[in-house]
Structure 1
Amino acid sequence: MQVHVVEHPLIAHKLTELRRQETPSNIFRQLTEELVMLLAYEATRNLELEDVEIQTPVTKTVGKRVMRPRPLVVPILRAGLGMLEGMVRMAPTAEVGFLGMARNEETLDIVTYAERLPADLTGRHVFVLDPMLATGGTLAESINFLYQRNARRVTCICLLGAPEGLARLEESHGDVDVDLYLASIDEKLTDKAYIYPGLGDAGDRLYGVAE
């Protein structure tokens, strides 16, 4: 497993605005989209290419295109949906699947409640979108789920990560072909398994639902 914290002035600036308590949902969604586009630029560096012959206005030449089968983008419901638009803007030829996994707030166990994916992912490079890597349970289960369907490679894109979640992924998937891209690794988890200092509940802040 390879962990990449993407350092860039625009990422640092947008993440600061995302963390602000007073940032409204519409701006939060816009910042999330922009951050994902910046992260996706780095996360797609390992996409395989093939030669393609094209005709320019001047002559025939050989260019490059993303090799088939097309990449598959899988947002983890529901907060991962807020990252989808930024990802498909950067990879418009990718297909999109959905995976619903939720953490039981009492037991912290991960429950799969929905999925819409091809039955066979042989040869597919899958990009998993989940804004918060907290305990690592959801991401670990999603990686297992995808490799059980024969995914060739899994790349995960998160906005924030906690050391505890990274440690869990390293323990469970340290020898698996997984890339993880983040904007920041924060200090720790709280006793309620929230990332600290974090940015609160990403799903609630994206969709305007507050307790």
Structure 2
Amino acid sequence: MKIHRFDHSNSLLNTFTAEIRDSKIQKDSMRFRRNIERIGEVLAYELSKTLDYGPNTVETPLGSKKMSLIKDDLVLCSILRAGLPLHQGLLSYFDRAENAFISAFRHHPNNEDDFEVVVKYFAAPSLDGKTLILTDPMLATGKTLENVLNVLRGHGTPAKIHIVSVIGSEAGIDYVQKVFPTETELWIAAVDEELNDRGYILPGLGDAGDLAFGVKL
């Protein structure tokens, strides 16, 4: 797997990442969602540089212009509910992409530390021969992405898979590298070293879904 991480270089992306981590700023859920979107927009731009392009002729009111435009058939697939703001950021740039959505959440039996990932909803077009962009804002243990990959296999074989995340753990990235195809590429704004006993990233930012949309039961 090829990993593109952006916390080792100076850019405006670090400002957006800092704000979603900040416990005071993240109390503003609208700003939290917008910062996730902006991170998605930046990562979409960086990812776009690696796609396949072909010649096109654009007709203007005064003539024609040959330009190189994206050839890939893109499918954006996001994990509900936390992935929605990140999905919107990517969709703002890849606005002609097809879309897929999947619900995958952690279930902690008896509120213990151990958990299983439950998938209950999935809607997607055919993935055969297309470029799949799989978005999950928090890449913690990697088990959610593994379960999503297993479900996606029933909808065809993509020509290429990209994973887009906001914050990940080193352990989660290592795990995903083992279960995804070797040519998969990961685009991630920041990587943290640790997970706690419940599999949450430290220092991370907390529960991205709750911060974006409110605390769930």
Same fold judged by TM-score > 0.5? Answer: yes
Change (3 A) 1:8 1:37: farther
C-alpha distance after superposition, 1:47-101 (max 9, x if no partner):
2222222223443332222225x31111111100121221111111111111111
Deviation at 1:18, TM superposition (A): 0.8
Deviation at 1:145, TM superposition (A): 3.3
Query: 1:165 maps to what in 2?
Result: 172
Q: Which moved more, 1:31-40 or 1:139-148?
A: 139-148
Structure 2 Cα separation of the partners of residues 146 and 133 of structure 1? 18
Q: Normalization by structure 1: what TM-score?
A: 0.91
Q: Which 5+ residue runs of structure 1 have no aligned equivalent?
A: none
Whether the 8 Å contact between 2:13 and 2:39 is mirrored in structure 1 is yes
Query: 1:177 maps to what in 2?
Result: 183
Query: 2:140 maps to what in 1?
Result: 134
Letter in 1 for 2:2: Q
Q: Secondary structure at the match of 1:209?
A: coil
Structure 2 Cα separation of the partners of residues 210 and 22 of structure 1? 20
Whether the 8 Å contact between 1:132 and 1:158 is mirrored in structure 2 is yes
Q: How many residues align?
A: 208
Structure 1 Cα separation of the partners of residues 42 and 10 of structure 2? 9
Query: 1:192 maps to what in 2?
Result: 198
Aligned residues: CA RMSD: 1.8
Q: Secondary structure at the match of 1:159?
A: strand
TM alignment of 1:35-74, pairs within 5 A: 35-67=39-71, 70-74=73-77
Counterpart among 100, 118, 123 of residue 97 in structure 1: 100
Q: What fraction of aligned residue pairs are identical, expressed as a percent?
A: 30
Deviation at 1:147, TM superposition (A): 4.4
Whether the 8 Å contact between 1:188 and 1:195 is mirrored in structure 2 is yes
Whether the 8 Å contact between 1:98 and 1:115 is mirrored in structure 2 is yes
Q: Normalization by structure 2: what TM-score?
A: 0.88
Structure 2 Cα separation of the partners of residues 48 and 145 of structure 1? 26
Structure 1 Cα separation of the partners of residues 65 and 31 of structure 2? 43
Does 1:207 pair with 2:213? yes
Change (3 A) 1:8 1:139: farther
Structure 1 Cα separation of the partners of residues 145 and 84 of structure 2? 15
Q: Which 5+ residue runs of structure 2 have no aligned equivalent?
A: none
Query: 1:12 maps to what in 2?
Result: 14
Change (3 A) 1:131 1:57: same
Query: 2:87 maps to what in 1?
Result: 84
Q: Secondary structure at the match of 2:128?
A: coil
Structure 1 Cα separation of the partners of residues 4 and 108 of structure 2? 28
